[in-house]
Structure 1
């Protein structure tokens, strides 16, 4: 694989990338990822979600980061910075998605590192996320230094309709 580019999208770049983002989301859901959607999930089904993300990027509430190689978008992650007034120091990490054809290449690490750098740039030093309990993502977050807070059983559904718990994590970017 050629060099990977990690970049933060502007509002206009986000709008232009909607078809690629929809393809990544659809691929992840069809691959069994519990990321809020049910199977079957086509790229067309994913468009309304990404249109909402594009609005959030334009409003300054979301930072959208992508991984690309040879002009092909292969992964994405979001940083929710549109928090309540009593949470100006916190951000939500959302939808770390890597297309199945690009798994195992270190894109998750690159995307997470970029998200942490963006969080710091926006003055955020506490990051939170949740993921399906027992999923491969759960061990990835631990490997990347995130602290497990706990599990809520039957929190969500897998794309096939079966229940799954959600494991909640946080990471402090503040110096000790």
Structure 2
């Protein structure tokens, strides 16, 4: 697992774009419609570099030396009264790398980094009924409810989204 600074994000952008297109085109709802092309996915990742440089986004990638196998990010709010929380975003694992605990390790990496940064509350949203829900529930995340027709699936169908939160150990705010 490697945390990507702005330079590394740009170096890994091609692998991250491949992961994103494979994830979306495989039916996972991560904010894009299918078919997602490589150029669009690459541009999206490259645009995240400014947020990483500014400290608004932290990105981790898991790789096997040849390709990116998974990623997770934390998005930090820019408001002074929100510095104690972050949103977990874009947790993705390549289909051929699933079932080996990589998603759980990515999740734990983000949770540990959040606690180290003084973040005491994490939140996320995920498609209701998706395989991701099983991971979040088993990792101690608490569902607070579902919003009907919140986001379109990659196929364009409106689907419900469940909101989760997790409190992490208190620390000193370092951001």
TM-score by length of 2: 0.93
Contact 1:125 1:173 in 2 (8 A): yes
Contact 1:9 1:65 in 2 (8 A): yes
2:173 aligns with: none
2:96 pairs, out of 101, 123, 135, with 101
Distance 1:47 1:68 in 2: 17
2:86 pairs, out of 86, 91, 94, with 91
Deviation at 1:76, TM superposition (A): 0.2
2:68 pairs, out of 73, 79, 94, with 73
Unmatched runs of 5 consecutive residues or more in structure 1 = 1-5
Alignment RMSD: 1.1
Contact 2:77 2:85 in 1 (8 A): no
Runs of 4+ in 1 over 3 A off after TM superposition: none
Deviation at 1:111, TM superposition (A): 0.4
Q: Paired residues, what number?
A: 170
Distance 1:67 1:157 in 2: 27
- Aligned to 2:32, the other structure's residue is in SS state coil
Unmatched runs of 5 consecutive residues or more in structure 2 = 171-175
TM-score by length of 1: 0.93
